[in-house]
Amino acid sequence: MGFFIFSTLLQLIYFTSAEQVSVVLDPNFSLSWQIAGDSITFGFNCSFDGWCGIGFYGSMKQTDMIILIRQNGNFDAWDMYSTSHGTPPQDSAKGKGCRDDVNLTSSSFNNGRMLGSISRLLNTGDTLCDWVIKPGEAINFCFAYKQKSNIQKFQEHSTYGEGVLLIGLNQTSSYFLPSSSFGSEYEDHGNEMTVMWLCLAPLCIMLIRYLKWTYLAFYGHMLLGYVVLGFTCGSVYEIYKKDELAYNDLSDNKRYHSRIGFILCAFVIAQAITGAMTKMWMLFKEDLSILRVCRRVHMALGWCALIPGLINLKYGWDIKGDDTAKNAVFACYAILVVLLALLEIRHRFSHKIRILQWNFKLKRLNKAKPALEKSLMDQMGSTHTEILNDIVSKNLSCVFYDEYLLNVSGFIQNHPGGAYMIRKVIGEDVGKYINGCSSISGFIASYDHSRPAKNLINSLIIDRVAYTAGVLTKKSSDQSLDYGNMTWELVRKYNIAEGTFYIELTSKDWAVENPPKGFEWLGKHFGVRERIGKSEVIRYYSLMMTDLHHWAREARKEGFQITKKIYKKSKSPDTLKLHIKRYDNGLMSRHLCDLEPGSEYKLKGPLGPGLGFSSAPAGICTGFAAGTGILPFLDLVYMIWNGSVSSDFCLYLYVTFRSKKDSFALDLLEATQKKSGKALNLHINLDEERVGGKLTEEKLKEWVKIPNISRAWVCGPSGFNRWIESMLTSQGLQRNKLMIL
Ligand SMILES: *[C@@H]1O[C@H](CO)[C@@H](O)[C@H](O)[C@H]1NC(C)=O
Ligand SMILES: *[C@@H]1O[C@H](CO)[C@@H](O)[C@H](O)[C@H]1NC(C)=O
Ligand SMILES: *[C@@H]1O[C@H](CO)[C@@H](O)[C@H](O)[C@H]1NC(C)=O
Ligand SMILES: *[C@@H]1O[C@H](CO)[C@@H](O)[C@H](O)[C@H]1NC(C)=O
Ligand SMILES: *[C@@H]1O[C@H](CO)[C@@H](O)[C@H](O)[C@H]1NC(C)=O
Ligand SMILES: *[C@@H]1O[C@H](CO)[C@@H](O)[C@H](O)[C@H]1NC(C)=O
Ligand SMILES: *[C@@H]1O[C@H](CO)[C@@H](O)[C@H](O)[C@H]1NC(C)=O
Ligand SMILES: *[C@@H]1O[C@H](CO)[C@@H](O)[C@H](O)[C@H]1NC(C)=O
Ligand SMILES: *[C@@H]1O[C@H](CO)[C@@H](O)[C@H](O)[C@H]1NC(C)=O
């Protein structure tokens, strides 16, 4: 009992002796208080007309507020409890037992300054709508005010602040510490986002769009993408968590900024998902249609994120009111636009604007050409066959593209059509795929690559490959003659089969060696370039040196039945022969077949790894030919006929034509099979006549022992090539033994 009286007495003395304490919340608002007994009297000192208020233990949510307001010249004190960002109601209006527990004890308005004393109990007993004020404890505290004369209605605050307040009994023990994170958090957010969206995001896009052939492109793209994702979402979340103002309370700039920010987060998250999907399909699947959708969505989202991202920077720096920073951002926009424009121009037009090609290796290779002109064939580099052997033995990721060798090791994983397409063509000549003559995807229709895709090839070139020696020789020592740009004149054309034209060409510059020396030339092709309409079209036609007329005569001499009419005598031994199937919807074949004698052909070649022989053919080989796909094999079969192959050489040849009318040279093949015995093993199929029968997996297995095959070639339309390829590989043929011509 004695102790109770003593402590009550002590408290009384203590409290009554508490002094008036004041703190400055902001230059326009100072707060004072005096604790007496169990009540506290706050002094509001606001240098304006309108309202000013304080809040305990929070910022907007679950915050107990006391407001001094001057409406129509009359002061009022309100007790409020805020649960959200909306305008809070007064406690008494809230019901549920909430009461207004503050009294305005004095007020004045002098020289535009509002002064008011508001008292309440430290513990009002209103547990729902008031917090207990505990002197001596540091608490989360906020204040806000609105400067406005003749305020009619409680309005959104114009200034807001928060921090830590200690309501002490004397001046020395009390303080207000403005929240240190307030402001600096926004500043960090601004700086982070500026770096992300002005530097990293554009870099991320540039890497994958303009540097596709490098390893860096993908890894850099992914890394930067995730950094941008992480920082953007993290930073936006931090700001969101601060939970400061209601949407309605935001200024326009802030409103746009915040909504664009949220949309950006959605975009970058979607980016990460579509990016991962795209990559998965690129690397592991063989489904072009899904890949295409993923990739396009990813690309569209990428640009859709970058542009609002950049716009949001402007709003951000607008809000901060930092004009220097904003101008710097504008300057960066300009630099970025110029850089992107340059890269895009290079991407699209580097074939026209030479200075934009910065493959120094290619420049050196091209420059070196004139010096080597004298003996172009031998000195210009290794031959296709030598390089092909290297590719196979050293497991190099290289492909041929006309007279160039491309290093696709970095490009494989970024090939927009999927990695499998490149993996399948390692060691092949990819000209036919790039220029839309053949297709490697599940789609039968071939895909003529876009101009930017073709421009990109310049960056992949690592070497020049020699044109095959022994087929064509120069008639003069003219330095400017170039195998890459030969002009030939059409001297004769006739139908060798329905729809297939025999085209005979002669040149004043080039002599034809017949038979050519060596074996390298077998199965190669010529590139034909023509400007048709507005576009330049490139197509590839097989090299076939054997004179069918001569062969037929030899065969007849040996007693074989050979149709007389179709193999006509050539105009001269010094002519080049092409056999071209005329497709009604084929731009180039129609053009070439409809040219009249005397017209010019622009040829390049011979190109490609061909059948890949550097010495007399040996071992067990298989060829699969559909239609004019038979051409690359005819020279080989004639070698069998003529006995210029090794004794252990054996060719299994599957030939398919739609009908007898379309076919040619079948009688020569059959004669060779009869003459040579084991060296040629034919399987002929004529669809319409139902001769021979289509190949099936069973028939194939019976016909040839797959593990014994040392080389296999397929030459036909894309669908045929894919079908044979899958049949052979599913039966265990190693992919690198198979060559698609
Ligand atoms: C204080 O109020 C004056 C006008 O009354 C205003 O110009 C000034 O910006 C205010 N200061 C702060 C820190 O808000
Ligand atoms: C209100 O604040 C101003 C400026 O801080 C000060 O000059 C003035 O004395 C204060 N008035 C009262 C009654 O505390
Ligand atoms: C506020 O005023 C009411 C009556 O006007 C009084 O009963 C109450 O004690 C006062 N509260 C304080 C904290 O002064
Ligand atoms: C202020 O109050 C604190 C306790 O709240 C006390 O420790 C301190 O001595 C007081 N200072 C003065 C100058 O009275
Ligand atoms: C060849 O290289 C590829 C990747 O470039 C690799 O996956 C494969 O295992 C290699 N093969 C051999 C036989 O080394
Ligand atoms: C191809 O490029 C990769 C990476 O740039 C390199 O490691 C490799 O040696 C290159 N291959 C050839 C044959 O140049
Ligand atoms: C090809 O040769 C012709 C002359 O025969 C020449 O006019 C043309 O510029 C050459 N084209 C290229 C790409 O070298
Ligand atoms: C055929 O063989 C003979 C002798 O074996 C040879 O002289 C001739 O050049 C060969 N013809 C062809 C086209 O290979
Ligand atoms: C084909 O391979 C088998 C073993 O798989 C072997 O016994 C046979 O002699 C080979 N045939 C030829 C012609 O090489």
Domain boundaries, the chain: 2-178, 184-356, 374-464, 472-740
Give the residue among 677, 712, 683, 678 at the shortest CA–CA distance from 700. Answer: 683
Residue list for the binding site:
581, 588-589
Indicate if the pLDDT at residue 681 is higher than 70.
Answer: yes
Residue 253 has pLDDT above 50, yes or no: yes
Predicted local confidence at residue 9, as pLDDT: 46
- Report the distance separating Cα 479 and Cα 509, nearest Å: 11
Note if the bond before 308 is cis, omega within 30 degrees. Answer: no
Closest listed ligand to the CA of 485: 7
Identify the helix (H) or strand (E) that includes residue 621.
strand 620-626
DSSP string over 334-353: HHHHHHHHHHHHHHHHTTT-
Distance (Å) from CA 103 to ligand 3 centroid = 6
DSSP 8-class letter at 595: P
How many angstroms separate the alpha carbon of residue 203 from the centre of ligand 9? 57
C-alpha 393, offset from chain centre: 32
CATH of 184-356, one of 1.10.150, 1.20.120, 1.20.1180, 1.20.1440: 1.20.120
Q: Residue 47 has what pLDDT?
A: 92
Instruction: Compute the mean pLDDT over every residue in the chain, rounded to the nearest whole number.
Output: 84
109-127 pLDDT, tens digit per residue, is 988 899 999 999 998 888 8
- Our answer on whether the CB atom of 396 is closer than 6 Å to any ligand 6 atom is yes
| CA-based nearest residue to 41, from 139, 175, 137, 167 | 167
Give the number of the ligand closest to the Cα of residue 507.
7
Q: Rounded distance, CA 325 to CA 323, Å? A: 5
Between CA 162 and CA 473 the distance in angstroms is: 89
3-state DSSP assignment of residue 503: strand
The H or E element containing residue 207 is helix 201-210
Residues paired with 68 in a beta bridge: 52, 77
Atom index in ligand 7 nearest the CA of residue 485 equals 1
> Average pLDDT in the 461-466 region?
81
Nearest to 741 by CA among 525, 588, 544, 528: 525
Q: What is the mean pLDDT of residues 259-287?
A: 90
Mutation choice for ligand 2 from 24, 42, 45, 52, CB with most ligand atoms inside 8 A: 45
Confidence of residue 498 (pLDDT cuts 50, 70, 90): confident
Who lines ligand 2 at CB under 6 A? 30, 45, 115
Q: Which atom of ligand 6 is nearest to the CA of 394?
A: 13
What is the distance, to the nearest Å, from the Cα of residue 373 to the centroid of all Cα atoms in its chain?
Answer: 41
- On the question of pLDDT at 180 being above 80, the answer is no
Separation of alpha carbons 447 and 445, rounded Å:
7
Q: How far is the CA of 119 from the centre of ligand 3 (A)?
A: 8
In the numeric block, the tokens 């406005």 are attached to 148
Residues marked as binding for FAD? 581, 588-589
Our CA dihedral for 227, 232, 235, 240, rounded to 10 degrees, sits at -150
What is the atom index within ligand 2 of the atom nearest the CA of 27?
Answer: 5
According to CATH, the superfamily of the domain at 374-464 is: Cytochrome b5-like heme/steroid binding domain (3.10.120.10)
More confident residue, 157 or 130: 130
The answer to whether the beta carbons of residues 287 and 246 sit under 8 Å apart is: no
Residue 535 has a pLDDT of: 82
Query: Under DSSP, is residue 701 helix (H, G, I), strand (E, B) or coil?
Result: helix
Residue 26 CB less than 6 A away from ligand 1: yes
**In this structure, which ligand is nearest to the CA of 119?**
3
Query: What does CATH list as the number for 2-178?
Result: 2.60.40.1210
**Residue 627, Ramachandran bin (φ over 0: left; ψ between -120 and 50: alpha; else beta):** left
Taking the C-alpha atoms of residue 356 and residue 456, their distance in angstroms, rounded to an integer, is 12
Measured from CB, residues less than 6 Å from any atom of ligand 8 are 515, 642-644
Kindly report which listed range (55-59, 597-601, 667-671) carries the lowest average pLDDT score. 55-59
Q: How far, in Å, CA of 171 to CA of 22, rounded? A: 7
Query: Going by CA atoms, what residue is nearest to atom 9 of ligand 9?
Result: 708
Non-local (6+) Cβ contacts of 216 within 8 A are 207, 410
Counting from 1 in the atom list of ligand 3, the atom nearest the Cα of 119 is 13
d(CA 456, CA 430): 14
- Quote the distance between the C-alpha of residue 438 and its chain's center: 24
Given a cut of 80, is residue 15 above it in pLDDT? no
Q: What is the dihedral of CA 451, 456, 458, 462, to 10 degrees?
A: -150
| Beta-bridge partner residues of 220 | none
- Ligand 1 atom having least distance to the Cα of 27: 13
d(CA 735, CA 50): 83
- Tell me the CA distances in angstroms from 83 to 62, 130, 182, one per residue in order: 5, 12, 21
**Contact yes or no for 520/384 (Cβ under 8 A):** yes
712 — pLDDT class (breaks 50, 70, 90): very high
Atom 5, ligand 3: residue with shortest CA distance: 103
Contact in structure between 488 and 509 (CB atoms under 8 Å): no
Q: Which residues contact 70 (CB under 8 A, 6 or more apart)?
A: 49, 50, 51, 76, 107, 109, 114, 151
Give distance in angstroms: CA of 49 to centre of ligand 1. 12
Q: What pLDDT band is residue 654 in, cutting at 50, 70 and 90? A: very high
Looking at residue 17, what is its pLDDT?
55
Quick check: CB of 410 below 6 Å from ligand 6?
Answer: yes
Coil, strand or helix: which one is 250?
coil
Residue whose CA lies nearest to ligand 2 atom number 10: 45
User: How far away, in angstroms, is 706 Cα from ligand 9 center?
Assistant: 10
pLDDT digits (tens, 9 = 90+) for 324-374: 888 888 899 999 999 999 889 888 888 777 776 666 666 666 655 543 443
pLDDT recorded at residue 270: 92
* Local structure of 739: helix, strand or coil: strand
Task: Report pLDDT digits (tens) over 31-49.
Answer: 999 998 889 999 999 999 9
Largest interatomic CA distance in the chain: 143
Highest mean pLDDT among 29-33, 212-216, 647-651, 657-661: 29-33
Which CATH number, 3.90.800.10, 2.40.30.10, 2.40.160.50, 2.102.10.10, labels domain 472-740? 2.40.30.10
Nearest ligand by distance to the CA of 399: 6
pLDDT at position 623 is 92
Confidence of residue 67 (pLDDT cuts 50, 70, 90): very high
pLDDT (0 to 100) of residue 298: 92
> What spacing in Å lies between the alpha carbon of 521 and ligand 7's midpoint?
25
Q: Are 258 and 318 in contact (CB under 8 A)?
A: no
Distance 485 CA to ligand 7 centre (A): 6
Ligand nearest to the CA of 18: 4
Query: Cα(638)–Cα(615) distance, rounded to whole angstroms?
Result: 16
Look at residue 181 and tell me whether its pLDDT is greater than 80.
no
- Testing ligand 1's pocket by substitution, the residue of 28, 47, 114, 145 carrying the most ligand atoms inside 8 A of its CB is 28
Q: Is the pLDDT of residue 187 over 70?
A: yes
